[in-house]
A and B are shown apart, each in its own frame.
Chain A
């Protein structure tokens, strides 16, 4: 699924990394626990989370996940937005809750990270 389709399906607003909207993501991982993201998430998956602090961005970068969707209308502060531009990470925000966001993407074919 292209990130542009993720944006459309979630009616999300792009905050940084517009240049990556044509990139493909093959899986999604919805989580507010960053250690579990580091432990389980597939490389290249889109991260959906309700946390919007700097550690989310660090986690995405360390785990090689280049796109983040903030749910429940969260928007990180300017310092984090600036850092995301430096790291070249696409960030978007949606009004939907985590459950609905994941459900919609799953319904349209995006798979979850495999725990095994």
Chain B
């Protein structure tokens, strides 16, 4: 059992945001992954998906299903995060009022991803993009 699913997420498309995460959830349910792991990966994926719609110029969510782990990669084509440490601070956000009115943009997204993933890595280059790799171990 080893394959990949790729979902495109467009900037500002709040109507579609959430669909990729729901598809990921349903796929993992069909594969018989435990509910506890599905919930963790769905939450982390949804926060990542919202971040792509809110902050990026567009990006992708990639789910890789392996025998021992599930890997969720969230990558975009910019604009990049100037200060990752600051962005990772709970409560820090650069999101605008439109996003806040939807119940997001309170500076909890990256915190929620770290909390739910078993392993979390983030790298970012200005004008090139940001890449987050999260691993979830199947027990």
Residues of A within 8 A of B (CB): 32-39, 43, 49, 51, 53-56, 58-59, 61-64
Contact = CB atoms under 8 A, between A and B. Distances in A.
The interface residues of chain B, by DSSP majority, are classed as helix
Contacts, number: 66
B59 interface: no
Given A38-B112, A64-B39, A55 B21 contact: no
Contacts of B22: 58, 61-62
Nearest to B42: A62
A38 B22 CA distance: 14
The interface residues of chain A, by DSSP majority, are classed as helix
Interface of B: 14-15, 17-18, 21-22, 25, 35, 39, 42-43, 46-47, 50, 101-104, 106, 108-109, 111-112, 115
A55 B104 contact: yes
Nearest to A32: B103
A25 to B, nearest CB: 17
